[in-house]
Homo-oligomer: A and B are copies of this chain.
């Protein structure tokens, strides 16, 4: 094991005081260039590295950012968070931070986790995901003036209450719907989640907007269901049975789309009247599943989103007024539509 090299060792070898070493590393401009050079050489030579625990005791900064990791859910959508997490790990490292993981079952448990973490590891900031209406977590952090960013906009509050990065979901479903319109589809239905969820309502809105733009009426063309493959299948069957003119299904997630696609690709389903209808389907999130089965899907720029989250959190940590950012998604067109 490499023996622990302290700032005192460097100081002794370099023939300067401990403080000069600290300055050479943290406030270079205050040290004479040649002294600084000498110190850095010794640092290199001895393989010195600052001890964060000791630094933390003085400065109160841990260089740690905490983020919650969740169970994989149905496994289809988990990959979105995972890609975000990977991107964030790299962005954070670039800014001199490391990610600290925790789990929590709900908002209240997560707030309890905040307290545990703040008391123990003292993370400098938090990155929250899955924001929702009346998010208790953000209010809690806000009340205490703790630095954080959310990946996901605030759904019940003004846009500037806290820094956030999000991907424009309605622009995504709008693009998907417009793609279908351009392909000649005229009766395009939407399968989404029960209204009340910010993300879900936003995605529905994009579809509605695109239809309105083409002078089409959305009435009767929308279904609300929990997220899941079987749910998507049921909703698709229901829609296609109820309305024989539907030729395309825009879905709020790849899970739903996967179920819908199953119906759409059935050779001779119950809802099939006389003529064969080729049903186009689009999903959301561009998960590996979409890629695997040729599902057209809305892609979120997750690596970029993670980088911008880190930017904004960095500003919050510096006290610089942060902001927020709505990133555009992109449509990945595959065989399904």
Contacts and interface: CB of A to CB of B under 8 A. Distances in A.
A182 interface: no
Given A51-B119, A53-B56, A82 B89 contact: no
A214 interface: no
Interface stretch (A16-24, A70-78, A166-174, A240-248): A70-78
Nearest to A50: B120
Number of copies: 2
A50 B121 CA distance: 9
Contacts of A258: 292
Interface stretch (A98-106, A154-162, A204-212): A98-106
Interface stretch (A32-40, A186-194, A283-291, A315-323): A283-291
B98 A99 contact: no
A118 interface: yes
Contacts of A83: 72
A85 interface: yes
A102 B76 contact: no
Interface string A248-290: 0000000000100000000000000000000000000001110
Nearest to A291: B75
A325 interface: no
A49 B288 contact: no
Contact of A86 (B56, B103, B122): B103
A54 B57 contact: yes
A145 B2 CA distance: 10
A116 interface: yes
Interface in A58-106: 62-64, 69-72, 74-76, 78-79, 82-83, 85-86, 89-90, 93, 98-103
A31 interface: no
A179 to B, nearest CB: 23
A150 to B, nearest CB: 19
A292 B53 contact: no
B229 A292 contact: yes
Contact of A121 (B52, B82, B86): B52
A100 B103 contact: no
Interface of A: 1-2, 47-54, 56-57, 62-64, 69-72, 74-76, 78-79, 82-83, 85-86, 89-90, 93, 98-103, 115-122, 144-146, 229, 258, 287-289, 291-293
9 contacts: A2-B144, A47-B115, A50-B119, A51-B120, A52-B53, A72-B288, A76-B292, A90-B103, A288-B289
